Homo-oligomer: A and B are copies of this chain.
Amino acid sequence: MSITINIEAQLADLSETVRDEIARLLAGNQASKLLEAMKYSAISGGKYLRPFITYNVGKIFDLSIQDVIVAAASIEIIHCYSLIHDDLPSMDNDDLRRGKPSCHKAFDEATAILAGDALHTFAFEILSSENFNKDAEIRCKVINLLAKSIGMNGMAGGQMFDLQYEQLEVSEEEILTMQKMKTAYLFSVSAEIASILAKSNDIERLAIRNYGLKLGLAFQIIDDVIDVEGTEKHAGKKLGKDELAGKATLVSKFGIDYAKMKAHKLSQEAKSHLLALGDRDYNNLIAIADFVIARSY
């Protein structure tokens, strides 16, 4: 299955909506240097791919943008927190992010750590509020799933393994587990949250979760390919860094061609999970799976 849909144009549209929503959510808070740093990183020129997934999964279950916008924004806020912390000198030491200086370069390290922390907290603040969803059971389910996906057994744990694996010889399985934790779980939760909001059945929810997981893994592998093949202007971040840092990736272990093949396979697997959704119109989700491996930034 492959369908001609202009994902880039749709992404650009939605990114504006999500950016506006994050700006709106942050606007009610007292002015401070900390808030400036949070806005600097969270209202910026990212792809906003994760909220785009939330939105598009919602759409196949007939949810409107209003139904999913707070959840989508909270996912992006968590992603921004992780970028700020991952870019720190003691972590991946990235000076450039989304085409501008990283938070700790534009401000300073302490401010960046606190801006990441405050964004992290803020996501849970907005998800626990009635303004997000009237049903407290649903709010708790979303919070619990998100927390499990980004904590010690998810994003933070994956980032830890990523640092530990530098300069080490690790297996393909270890690399994929690390990348699943570091990246794919947040993709998976971006998708699954929309199915929770839609109260979809267990089969649909599992299909959506697995779609997100495979999609996220394909995304990360292509990210590693771009680190070698991409242009910095296009990517908005420094490239060629994995080799310098001795990062464990499929590219460093098996080369570009194998990595691309693997990403392609994962993208196909992501699509195949959608078959469980039967008659629902999931063409956009297929197009996203194509986009993720075709992208060059």
Contacts and interface: CB of A to CB of B under 8 A. Distances in A.
A262 interface: no
B143 A124 contact: yes
Given A153-B29, A156-B34, A128 B143 contact: yes
Contacts of A150: 121
A152 B118 contact: yes
A151 B136 contact: no
Interface in A88-104: 88, 90-91
29 contacts: A29-B152, A30-B152, A32-B152, A32-B157, A34-B152, A34-B156, A34-B157, A35-B152, A85-B113, A88-B110, A91-B110, A110-B163, A111-B163, A116-B117, A117-B120, A118-B152, A118-B157, A120-B121, A121-B150, A121-B156, A122-B147, A122-B151, A122-B152, A124-B124, A125-B147, A125-B151, A128-B140, A128-B144, A136-B137
A198 to B, nearest CB: 18
Contacts of A137: 136
Contacts of A129: 140, 144
B118 A90 contact: no
B124 A147 contact: yes
A170 to B, nearest CB: 14
Interface string A31-48: 011110010000000000
Contacts of A140: 128-130, 136, 139-140
A164 interface: yes
A160 B125 contact: no
A243 interface: no
B128 A147 contact: yes
A159 interface: yes
A32 B148 contact: no
A281 interface: no
A239 B107 CA distance: 28
Given A33-B160, A118-B152, A121-B156, 14 more contacts: A29-B152, A30-B152, A32-B157, A34-B156, A34-B160, A114-B156, A121-B147, A122-B151, A125-B148, A125-B151, A128-B141, A128-B143, A130-B140, A140-B140
Contacts of A30: 152-153, 157
Nearest to A133: B140
Contacts of A148: 125
Interface string A76-90: 000000000100101
A136 B160 CA distance: 32
Contacts of A33: 160, 164
